[in-house]
Amino acid sequence: MSRLLIVDGHAYAYRAFHAIRELRSPEGRPTNAIFCFVKMLEKMRAAVQPTHLLVAWDGGLSADRLAALPEYKAQRAEMPLELRPQLAEIASYLVAAEIASYRRDGVEADDYIATLARRAADGWNVVIASSDKDFMQLVSARIGLLNPNDKTGAIWGREQVFAKTGVEPEQVADWLALMGDTVDNIPGVPGVGPKTAADLLHQFGSVAGLLARLDEVKSEKLRQALRLAAPDVMRNQQLVRLPEVACEFVPEQLAVRSGDREALGRLFAGWGFKGLLAALAGSGEKQVELI
C-alpha cells in the first residue's frame, strides 16, 4: 500500500534551527537550520519508508480564524533573523531533492495537511510528521502521527492519542476547545485543564452534549465557569478544527524520487556540508551527527 509522509515544514525548520545554533558556510552564511532540516528529513524517510512525500509550509494566518479571534497567535515572536534566509535555501534543497513542497498565501499548513491527509487516506496510509497537538484529531486506522518529541520513534495511533489526552481522536477538537491552547493564544474555560476537559468529555461525550446538560455538572463553580464560557468554547471549536481547503491530490507529483545528484552536490558544497557531500558521492565518509 502507498504511504504518504507529510512534513510540517515550518515546525521542523524551527526545530532544526534550535538543534545546532552555530553552523556556517565557507562564506559565513548561517546553515544550521538547513543542515539539521536535511538530516531530520533523512531520518524520517528512513523510519517511515514513504512511497510519497510532501513538505507543507504556512502561508499566513487564516482570515476566518482571525475574524473569530483577532488575538489568534498574536503572542508569537518574530522569526529569528538568521532563520529567515535559510528557508529559501531549504526550498532550494527540496527542489534539488525532487521533494514536493506546498505553500499558499492565507492558508495555514495545518489545514492543508489535514485536507491532503484525509484525501490520501481513502486508500493510502498517511503519516504526519509534527508535534502540533491539533493533528491528533485526524488519527485513524489510516492516519498516524510521527511526533519528534517522542524519542521512541513510534507512529502514533489511537492508543497513543488516548494516552496523551485521555480522549479519543474524534474528541480532541472538543478537548482543545474546553481547555484552550496557549500555543495559539486561544483562551479556554477558566479552571479547566487537560484532565478536567477529558473527564467532562467522558461523561457527556462532546461539547454539544456538555452544554445541553450543564445542570448535571456536579461542581457549582465549574458549572458556572462553563456557562459563562460557552460562547468562547463554541468559538474555540471552529478555531481548532482543521477545515477543508483547496487541495489537488495528484499522487504522481508526490512520488518519492532519487533527486538531482548534481544539483544536490552543488548545494552541499556551497554550504560546506562535507559529510553529506561524501555520502552523496558514496565515499563512505562519516557524517556529522545531530546533537
Q: Is the pLDDT confidence value at 193 over 80?
A: yes
Check pLDDT > 80 for residue 289: no
Which cell numbers in the block locate residue 123? 486508500
Question: Residue 127, SS3?
Answer: strand
Q: Contact at 8 Å (CB) between 112 and 245? A: yes
Share of the chain above pLDDT 70, in %: 97
pLDDT score for 247:
87
Which CATH entry fits the domain spanning 169-240: 1.20.1280.50, 3.40.50.300, 1.10.150.20, 3.90.226.10? 1.10.150.20
Rg (CA), the chain: 21
Give me the pLDDT at residue 41, please: 97
Calpha distance 38→94 (Å, rounded): 9
**For the chain, domain boundaries:** 3-161+243-281, 169-240
Give residue 85's pLDDT: 95
What pLDDT does residue 95 have?
Answer: 98
pLDDT digits (tens, 9 = 90+) for 101-156: 999 999 999 999 999 999 999 999 999 999 999 999 999 999 999 999 999 999 99
Which backbone phi and psi does 142 adopt, to 5 degrees? -110, -10
Interval 212-243: pLDDT, tens: 999 999 999 999 999 999 999 999 999 999 99
Q: Crossing angle, helix 274-281 and helix 261-271, to 10 degrees?
A: 160
The model carries a pTM of: 0.93
Rounded to whole angstroms, what are the CA distances from 268 to 50, 92, 284?
24, 11, 16
Answer whether residue 286 shows pLDDT above 90: no
**Per-residue pLDDT, 290:** 38
The CATH topology of domain 3-161+243-281 is Rossmann fold (3.40.50)
Residue 276 in grid coordinates: 553529506
Is 23 a residue whose pLDDT tops 80?
yes
Task: Tell me what the mean pLDDT of segment 28-46 comes to.
Answer: 96
